[in-house]
Structures are given as C-alpha cells and as structure tokens.
Structure 1
Amino acid sequence: MVVSTAKIVRMMESVEEIKYPSSFGSLSDQIPTVQLRAVRDDGRCGKDFGGATCDPKGAYGGCCSMYGTPSGTTTSAAEPVIGPATSSIPPQATATAKVTTDGTCGTTNNNEVCGNWPNGNCCSAYGFCGSTSAHCGGGCQSGNCLNAPAVAAPGPSPAPLAPNGGSFEIVGQSGVPAMHAALMPNGKVMFLDKLENYTQLKTANGYYAMSSEYDPVTHAVVPLTYLTNAFCSGGTFLADGRVISVGGNAPLTWLDPNIGDGFDAIRYLGRSSSNKAPDGQGWSEPGNKLASARWYATAQTMPDGTVFVASGSLNGLDPTVLANNNPTYEILSPQAVTQGKNIPMDILVKNQPYYMYPFVHLLNDGNLFVFVSKSAQVFNVGSNTIVKALPDLPGEYRTYPNTGGSVMMPLSSKNNWAPDIIICGGGAYQDITSPTDPSCGRIQPLSDNPKWEMESMPEGRGMVEGTLLADGTVLFLNGGNRGAQGFGLMQNPTLEALLYDPSQPLGKRFTTAASSTVPRLYHSVALMTLDGCVLVTGSNPVEMPKLAPDAKDPYVTDFRVEKYTPPYLQGDNANKRPTNIVLSTLDVKTGGQFKITLTAPANAKTVKVMLYHGGFVTHSVHMGHRMLELDTAGWVQGQTAQTLTVTAPPNTKVAPPGPYVVYCLVDGVPGMGQFVQVS
C-alpha cells in the first residue's frame, strides 16, 4: 500500500510516536516561540492560536497548556475547523515548478506541485496530492484538474407527499445533550455527551451529568457517570451485548476535575434484557486504552467479535496539518482490548483533511465497505488490502465536516444477502455559507461492475440521518439546508422527514412525511425503539449549552425528546399489532432456527420477521446499523394463533455477534420488538 507522506509513515510506525508528546509538542516547545498577544474569548491560546495568552482572572484560568488551551491540564470545547478559504481557489492556480516531497502542495505549501506523486498529480483545494474527484474537481490548484465532474450529481427532485406521513410528538427530556446515543438491551436509550457547563441532571458528587439513560415508555431519565471526556467519540456493540465508546477529547478540569483525558479512552456500558428499569449504573472504564489518540473515530464489530476502529484526530487541531491527524486503524479484541498497532489506511491517508468519521458497513463476504470524502472501497481488514476500488460518488463531500447519511438496505436471502448501500446529502466546505447536496448515490459494492445509481432529495441537506424502520423502509430526517458541521455553522433547518422505499423504481422512492417543529442541527440523533417508533432528540450547535436563542446563536441547546410514529402505526394500524409474541430462545445461533408464537389480527394475510441492530449513533453516522429479513415457515393465512419457524442468519458475516431486536410484522404492522443475542 502506498501512503501519502513519509512523515505519516514515520508517525504511524509505533504507538509511542503518536502519543501526546510527539503530537502536541511539549509546553517548553511552545512558550518560548510565542509572541504574547491579546486574550481570546474562547480560551484558546499558544502558538497555534495567534500567540494568544490566558487571563489569570478569567473563567478559564491563566495557564496555557500544551493543548493550546487554558488551565494547564484542560482543553476548551472547540472543534477542528477546516474552513472554506481554499475552496475558492480557481483551477490551475499559480504554481511553482518545485515538486512536493511529502504529498502537500498549493498555496498553503509553498505553491508546490504534485508532479509524479504516487497518489496522483492533482493538488486539491486543501493542498493535498491525489487523483480522486475531491482532488481534481472543484478548487483543484494544479495538475490534471477537471473543469467539470465526469458525472454531474442530480439537483433537487420533488418528493410527493406520502399518503400517510406519520407524526411527531414531543414526549420527554433527554437530561443531557444527545451527542451520542444507542438503544440498549433493556429497551432504554443511552445518551452520551462531552463535558459541559450545564445539563438537566447531576451525579451523586454534585457535578453535572454528561450521560443519561432514558426510558421511551415512561420518559423517565436518570444520570450516568463516566470517567473520561467522551467528546465526539465513536462506538459499537460488543459480542457480549455491551456498548463501547472509543476515543474522545482532553479533560476540562475547570468543569469537572473528576473527568480525565478521553483521547485514547475505552468506555463500557452493559445492560440486560432482564433489566426492566434504569438503574443508573454508570460507564465502566477499567483503564485499558486505545493504541493512539482518536477523536472522531468510527467503529465496527467484525464477524469474529473483534472491533475495527478507524480514523480520528490526534489532538483536535487543524486537520489540514498532517501531524495532527491519525489516518490509521487498529483492532480491538472481543473484550475491546487493543492489539497495540496503528496501521495506516490508504483511503484515510489520501483523503485528508476529509478523513474523519468514515462510513463503514460490514459486507456479507466479511470485508468492509469504507467511504470517506467522495471515495469508496471494499477493504480486507485482516490483510490490510484494498479488495476493490469503487468509483467516486459524484457531488459534494459526504463525510465530516459535511456529513450526510449512509444506510445499508435490509439484507435477505432473496438476493443471497448482497449489500446495497445509499449515501445522501453532504456539502462543499466547513462554513455556514456552504451549500448542501440534495443528491444520493446507491451502490451494490460486491456486484461485478459496481456503479453509483444517482437520485436526489427535494433539497440539499447536511447532517441528514438515515434510520431503518421496522418494515425495511428508511427514514431520513434532521439536519439543515445551508452550512456544515461545527459550532454555529448550520442554518435553514430541514424540518420535514422523508420516507425512502428501496423497493420502488428509481425516481419514485422518496416521499415527504411529517414535519417536526424542532430544529435538529449539530449533535442531534435519531434511532428506532422497541415499539417501532423513532426517538429523535438533541441539537447542541454551541460550545457550551445555551437555552435561549439570540442574534449570535439563533439555534441553541435542545433537550426535548420527540417520538416519530411511522405510517405503519398511524390510525387504525395501532390496533392491528400482532400480540402475545413469544420467542423460543433469546440466544440466536447463526446457521440455526428458532420458533416464534404470536396472536395475529383476524384475517391477517402476511408475516415478516426482521432482525434489527440500531448501532451507535453520532454526528448522523449510524455505526453498525443493519437489518435482516429472516426466512419464515408455518404461517397460516387468516389464522389468529400462529407458530413460525424462523431461520437465523447464516453466519456472523451477515449478522456480526451482538444484541439485536426481533420485530414481527403482520400485514406490515410491527408488534413490540424483543431483544435477542446473536452469536
């Protein structure tokens, strides 16, 4: 595999080289070179922030740490901002004849050109050499730039009103801002946030809680404790049913001296299907760490129960500076203990600075579909090889900080469990002025000749979340029509939900569903609960919680929890649920069978059994999210008392081990879901 710079190779050769000292430099490295300047109002300081100093009498403290933040051992809540400046560079910008030696180029890198650089000779708008459409398309500075994309992405397309668009209802409060979320095996929802100076809950030690457990039935919410800052972490469910949160950010001791450094942290939260009430048991952090610092990492559980963890920032600083980045992956054991190796990953290295929070889906051959920026590939983790390079997705950037939504359609035996993936939305650059992309690309990555089938939403959307519903359709919601991810960088909220039916022909898949009254912008989440409805909450596009909007921040912190009721539970359908659903086992073995008994409404015609995994939700990325339609036998049309024989998934490549929900749908109406453990 070719990597983009010798610097990255050296940096990733060992764990020790990417620990904090080499990433950030020592305090003595920074202070002597700083020209003292005015105090910033956000607490940032040091050489990377214009030489700003700290006010000893200010809220942040007087010491400037090696993180470029105040109070010696703390960091502020700021995020890495790529910015739109270079996006306006015209194609073929002035360049010298000097050829790059490290893969950087353009106006921010001494006007160097790429020449015969192995990754490609296009100098991107952000000053990196490559050959993808992100390098050679808009903003390309030198090399074989494209004046126009080879395939233009479609503009907005009308989506007719759905015959029944479902409904939104405000039902509760989240307790903490919902940066991360997951449906737990006890039926409750975990919310996880970064360190804040206000939440609705406090822990037993009197500090504000940064995690909570919400009951979708009673709407009760209780605080959960954790030990390290989980700011913009990734996550997945382990084979044993626990959810983990990996990575995060540095401590903020001025907020809570009990919360430590989370950059390389691994947090565990366990719940059981027999646990019928939130018990407030907090996150466990036994002390094992990632092999390196990872902020904005993606995680995926593999067929053997190991965990793939990829990407992230080493320090939260400017991603256009290679030394700040971590374009590698590492493997954790089934118990989430790292193997200690950081392995450079081609697609991440080449697509800096748009390399964080990649979309990852496990395919039925055991390989991964990996998408970042505009690029996609089929990747073999064990051999660290690219199995198949896939075409670039036309349109704008699709991953952080212009994240759209990515969903793998429900898998079934009807097409031998072949994956079919859609990616919608995105944007041009990280600024409130950025246009957003209405287009969607759908691809079957393991087909003989995979190509993107293009379609579009009624308007451009950034931070749009794709959530599978119990009937196998997809709900797209949340986000905005203008701007990008980052504090205060999105406007024009898109309040209407869209329903997407993957079984319909091209051009007829989108319909417009109900509209919410609550803007859901940066740091909002959506996931399906056991009743087949969708829980929607969050939106915290400010550095610290703010409850009242003003001219500076028209969109502020929102704790309201909504329930979206899909069409299949609207009106009379709510009374047509199958009932008395009993599974013969809650321990589902791949390759086997199990029984389900249920009571169907009179004269029912059809049944469908779906196996659902909600995954770990953050930043409109649904890590591990998947659904399978299982084969059934024994259904007798018109009979009320039914006994079904259900065939489990064939192997853990199709259904990686962990907790899932079984939904039984009779005539398209789901009964209450039940958690099972798949192995």
Structure 2
Amino acid sequence: MIMAGKIIAFLFTLTATCSFLSSAWSYEGEWKLLEKSIGISAMHMTLLPSDRIIAFDRTNMGPSNITLSNGRCLHVSKTIDCYAHSVEFDPAVGSVRPLTIFTDTWCSSGALSADGVLVQSGGYGNGDRVVRYFKPCADCDWAEDPSGLSTRRWYASNQVLPNGKIIVVGGKAEFSYEFIPKSSKSDQTLYQLPFLKETMHDRMVPNNLYPFLHLSPDGNLFVFANDRAILLDYVNDKVLRSYPVLPGGFSRNYPSTGSSALLPLKLSNDGTPDAEVVVCGGTLPNSNVKANAGVFLPAARTCGRLVITAEKPEWEMEEMPLNRVMGDMILLPTGDVLIINGAAKGTAGWEVATEPVLNPVLYRPNKPRINESVTRFEVLSASKIPRLYHSTAHLLSDGRVLVGGSNPHRNYNFTTLYPTDLSLEAFSPPYLAAGKSRPSISWVKPGAELVYNQRVSLGFCSAEKGDLEKTYVTMVAPSFTTHSFAMNQRLLVLALDRVSETSSGNFVVEGYAPATAAVAPPGYYLLFVVHGGVPSNGTWVHIKH
C-alpha cells in the first residue's frame, strides 16, 4: 500500500503536470481499461495478423504475476522459474495466454517477417545473440535460435527491407549492423558502422541506443542517433549522405529518449514519393547523470521535420504543447500522429523520471502552418495511469491505440510512487467519438493477397455522404514497439483513380497497390478507408513479389 506522504506527492505531481495546459484544448478522446492485469509489464509489444497482441518484458526480473501453463517450470541460471514473462492477448475477448521464453529479452528488438512471423532479436545476458520466432496459431509458442546473431545486440533497432530480410542496427557498444534470418552465407557478415560511435555523447551515457531507423522509398536506410542522421546504402555498405544536425542541443535516443516516425508516404503513379521524418521529444544529454543525482531536468518540447529525399534538406522545427521524454509516436489510420506516454522531467531508466505526462497529443502533419503561431498539435484527454519507463503503445485494427507497461524499477514494485503497471488500456482517438458515422469495408478486389502496382478496388458502405474527393485509403504496417520507438511502422496513402457512389450509402474506391518493395516492404498491412475524416476498421492484406 502506498504511504500517505507518497499519495500526496503523487497527487501534487499530477496537478503540476496538468497545470500549464491551455484551456483552449478540447481534450477529446476516450480511455477504457481493458485488463487490470495481463500478468506482466508490456515492455515490448506487437500486433500479429491474427489480431492478437504479443507482449513481453524480461526474464531476469523475478516472479511475474502469471505462471506458465500446465505447471511448467524453466531451469534458468541454476534457478527454477515457473512464471511467464511473455503473453498473447486477444483484444476481442480479453483472453491472456502465457508463453514461454528461455532467454532474456530485456531491451531487445523485433519486426514482423514477410510471412507474418514475429522475428525478435537480442536482449541481455544469455539472450544477447538469440533470435526468437513466434508464428501466429492457436497454440504456438516461442522458438529460439541461440546463435541467430553474429554479435551481441542489447538496445538495437530493426527494420524490414525490400527483399524481406531484417536489418539489425547498433546496440550497446556495438557499432555495426547485420541481417537476419541468416539464410545465406552473406548473412554471416558483420558490417561496421562508425557513425554509431561518432554520435556517442559519453561512453557511460551514449544517448544513441535504439537508433531510429526508417526505410526510405529509394530503398536506402535513414539512421538517426542522438541529434544526427545518415542515409545508409546497406547493400554496398556505404554512407550516401549525412544530414544537418537537429537543432536545439537535445539528445533524442536512449536514454534521452524521444521518438520518431516516418510521416505518411503519399503514393502516385508519377514516381517515387518524397519521404519526411519527424523526431519529437527527448532531453538534454546530461539528463540521465543529473537524474541519478536527484535533479530532474525538463524534457524537450521540440520536434524536427526533415524531408530526407530533398536535394538540400533542412530541419523544420515545431513545439509540442507539453514537454515529453519517453513518448511513443503512433501513426493513426488517418495519417495523423498520436504522441502518448512518457514524462515531463528526467530521462529513461530506473526511477529517473518524474511528472508523468497523462495527456496524449494529436499531431496533424498536413495542417498548413501559415506562421509560427499556428500549431499542428492538439492536447487530448488524460489517462489516469502513469506510463513511464518500459511503457508501450500500438495501433489496433479497430482504430484504437493499445497502451500498456510502465516498470521504472529494477524488478516488479507495486508499493512505490510510480508502481509497476500490468494493465492494458485502449485509447479511442477523436475520430471514434460517439455520433460519428463510421465507414465499413465490404470487399476488396482482387482480394487480401496483393502484388506490387496491381489495380485494386474496394467497396465500403457509410451512412455519411461525405466529400468523395477527400476520401482516401491507407495501408499501415504493424510495428514492433519498445522504448518509445515503433520499429517498422509505416503508413501508405494509396494512389486512387476515383471514388464513386454506386447506390445509396454504398461506395467503390479504385486505385493501385504500392509500386515497389522499397515503398512497401513485403508483409502484412492493415487496409483502411477514411471517409468524412473517419477511418473504417482495418482489413488485413498481404503484399508480396
């Protein structure tokens, strides 16, 4: 039970966090508690094409609140462990199934393969060179390859590539990249990346772990670390260009944890689309050292946008309404960005952040900025649950955002100011507000299996006539989310020929699948139609060569 003094401190913190919010905000959106406890804290999270969530934390943190099935126990490091540290959650019915992981997944990375298998890599201790696989099925469990990586990967990042391979970049004291799964001789090569060493602020607090990776539509890889970025030709092991330093003096990567997203790619039949990256939040490079000494520095408010495909790119700077470190940036089906979770002061790590930021922020990247007084941000309604270090968020197929985790402690701790949290919440963005008519996809032709540059049509019904010229279709790649970065997250706005009403309330959209694997790496995507500003439920489609 929390002591009275800590309760008073907690309430004061919430008051302080919200006191500077403008009364001009509408605070839209709705929160719903889905599960009080899934048994573990959701440090890592992904959505499978089965519409089920896989969540896990780490295996060396002591007993969780859920045991393995059928009385099973693991023998790990001379100890017997009967507790699960990974679960499968079904949002449709609220069921939780314990899963078995033998090696430590603490601060690891992952991505969905082209065939919908979760490929999960690295971790700590006996897990730092392990690649794990989870195939969606009714009773499947984890399979582990103990030598799946060429070197140890702790705090690394992953990205699916046009050929279906997954690149794994960085990690603590690892200034290199490699490819998984290792199905060919060339996959055994370890490629050095000096850029990761050059961007270290300090050897003790590097501020460049979990680098932000985004696949450019030209097939090369954008790599951001600390406050700098490069474009990497990983095929020829060559840095093609270096980008300007992000202004402001803040660090943006772990433990000065900001977040980043590749803004929606607007496809057309006229060639490769431009690509723009946004980086928000973070904190000063010395914030971790200060916080460990009891001084909590304010997090950054700034965001930077960069057209990475421009001939002479320059950062466009904006300010969020709230300071935020450890915020998750989630692409919504509409193309807007939800910034959620995190703290207003401190840094990422155990007990080194304070003032939880309970209000998400909606960022509308397409809103014109006539001058600096015009903001693209909107503060939304607050959760009641602090989501600090080791919290996560993920888009669901119904358009809600699933939020879980928060364990800012070395082990599970339920009797402190910011306790370990085992719950899952769902946040409904403003487009799901009561009274709004929601479109519903009726059919997709030629079907759920797509090929590149193929003509595609879909039917949808809606009670709302809407402006058909503003109706559009998006495809969203599910991410692997951990430590405030949604790896492999990607949203495509499809090229359309026309949208027409065939009968009262029934509509047909005609357009094209993405043209290349560099624009849309092979794999599963959620297909949405957005009509009258409201997205349908997502329909799973699969694109392959």
TM-score by length of 2: 0.86
Identical columns (%): 31
Tell me how far 1:603 sits from its aligned partner: 2.5
Match of 1:477 in 2: 340
> Is 2:223 the partner of 1:370?
yes
Aligned to 1:224: 99
* Aligned residue among 364, 385, 400 for 2:254: 400
Distance 2:305 2:185 in 1: 35
Taking the aligned partners of 2:300 and 2:185, their CA distance within structure 1 comes to 39
Tell me the SS of whatever aligns to 1:612: strand
Instruction: Give the CA deviation at 1:588.
Output: 1.4
2:301 aligned with 1:438: yes
Say which SS state the counterpart of residue 349 (structure 1) adopts: helix
Distance verdict in 2 for CA 1:335–1:178, change over 3 Å = farther
- The CA RMSD measured in Å over matched residues stands at 2.0
* Structural mapping, 1:515-594, within 5 Å: 515-549=382-416, 554-573=417-436, 575-594=437-456
Q: Does 1:631 align with 2:492?
A: no
- Report the counterpart of residue 311 of structure 1 in structure 2: 170
Task: Evaluate the alpha carbon distance shift between residue 291 and residue 338 of structure 1 in structure 2; reply closer, same or farther with a 3 A threshold.
Answer: farther
Aligned mate of 1:468, from 312, 315, 331: 331
Q: What displacement does 1:158 show?
A: 7.7
Matches within 5 A, 1:169-208: 169-172=32-35, 173-195=37-59, 196-204=61-69, 205-206=72-73, 207-208=82-83
Q: Distance in 2 between matches of 1:312 and 1:456?
A: 30
Paired letter, 1:427: T
Matched, 1:608 2:475: no
1:305 and 1:656 in contact (8 A); partners too: yes
Q: What's the CA shift for 1:286?
A: 4.1
CA drift at 1:194: 0.3
Distance of aligned partners of 1:369 and 1:265 in 2 relative to their CA distance in 1, 3 Å threshold: same
1:507-532 CA-to-partner distances (Å, cap 9, x unmatched) read 32011111111100000001110100
For 1:125-136, what aligned pairs fall within 5 Å after superposition? none
Q: Which runs of 5+ in 1 are unaligned?
A: 1-156, 251-260, 314-324
Per-residue Cα deviation, 1:45-74 (whole angstroms, up to 9, x for no partner) = xxxxxxxxxxxxxxxxxxxxxxxxxxxxxx
Greater length-normalized contact order (CA 8 Å, ≥ 6 residues apart): 2
**SS of residue in 2 equivalent to 1:430:** helix
Contact 2:26 2:379 in 1 (8 A): no
Contact 1:236–1:300, Cα closer than 8 Å, also in 2: yes
Q: Distance in 2 between matches of 1:475 and 1:336?
A: 39
Q: CA deviation at 1:598?
A: 2.3
1:675 paired residue number: 540
On the 8 A contact 2:455/2:511 being kept in 1, the answer is yes
SS of the equivalent of 1:451 reads coil
Deviation by residue 1:565-589 (Cα, 9 ceiling, x = unmatched): 111110111x433253445321111
Letter in 2 for 1:210: H
1:228–1:434: structure 2 CA closer, same or farther, 3 Å change rule? same
Tell me the equivalent position of 1:421.
Answer: 277
Matches within 5 A, 1:90-489: 161-163=24-26, 165-172=28-35, 173-195=37-59, 196-204=61-69, 205-206=72-73, 207-250=82-125, 261-271=126-136, 279-313=138-172, 325-333=173-181, 339-352=187-200, 353-395=206-248, 396-413=250-267, 416-428=272-284, 429-431=287-289, 432=291, 433-489=296-352
Runs of 5+ unmatched residues, structure 2? 1-19, 74-81, 201-205
Distance across 1 between alignment mates of 2:129 and 2:472: 42
Q: Deviations over 1:245-291 (max 9, x none)?
A: 110111xxxxxxxxxx10100001112xxx6xxx3421111444200
- Residues 1:643 and 2:517 are matched in the alignment: no
Query: Alignment partner of 2:187: what SS?
Result: coil
Q: Deviations over 1:381-417 (max 9, x none)?
A: 1122121110111121000111101011110125942
Q: Which has the higher strand share?
A: 2
| Letter of the 2:219 counterpart | G
Matched, 1:497 2:355: no
| Secondary structure of 1:348's aligned partner | helix
Comparing 642-651 with 602-611, which one deviates more in the overlay?
A: 602-611
How many residues matched? 491
Residues 579, 445 of structure 1: CA spacing in aligned structure 2 closer, same or farther, 3 A cutoff? closer
- Which amino acid is 2:282 matched to? G
For the pair shown, the structure with the greater C-alpha radius of gyration is: 1
What TM-score comes out, normalization by structure 1 length? 0.70
1:448/1:334 CA distance change after superposition, 3 Å:
same
